[in-house]
Amino acid sequence: MKIPISKPYFDDEEEKIIIKPLQSGWVVQGPFVKEFEEKFSAHTKIPYTVASSNCTTALHLGLIALGIKRGDKVIVPSFTYVASANAIEYVGATPIFCDIDLRSFNLDIQKLEDIVVNNTDIKAIMPVHLFGLCANMPKIMELAKEYKLKVIEDCACGFDSWIGTKHSGSFGDCGCFSFHPRKAISTGEGGMLVTGIQTLAEKARCLRDHGASKSDLERHLQEGGSLLPNFNILGYNYRLTDMQGALGVAQMNKAQKIMQARRKIAQWYNEALADFPLLLLPQTPENFKHSYQSYVVLFSPSYEGLTLEMIAKYNKKRNIFMQKLESLGISTRQGTHAVHTLKYYCDKYYFKEDDYLTSLAADRLSISLPLYPQMSESEFDYLINSFKKVFG
Give the integer Cα–Cα distance in Å for 29 and 245: 8
Pairing of strands 122-125, 150-155: parallel
| Coil vs helix vs strand at 217 | helix
Catalytic amino acids? 183
Are 218 and 31 spatial neighbours (Cβ–Cβ below 8 Å)? no
40: CB partners within 8 A, 6+ apart: 49, 177, 192, 194, 248, 252
At residue 345, what are phi and psi to the nearest 5 degrees?
Answer: -75, -35
Give the integer Cα–Cα distance in Å for 250 and 47: 20
**Measured in whole angstroms, how far is the alpha carbon of residue 76 from the centre of its chain?**
13
Give the integer Cα–Cα distance in Å for 245 and 163: 28
User: Given phi > 0 = left and psi -120 to 50 = alpha, else beta, which region is 348?
Assistant: alpha
Question: How many residues does the structure list for the chain?
Answer: 392
- Which long-range contacts (C-beta less than 8 Å, at least 24 apart) are formed by 67-71? 67/150, 68/93, 68/123, 68/124, 68/150, 69/93
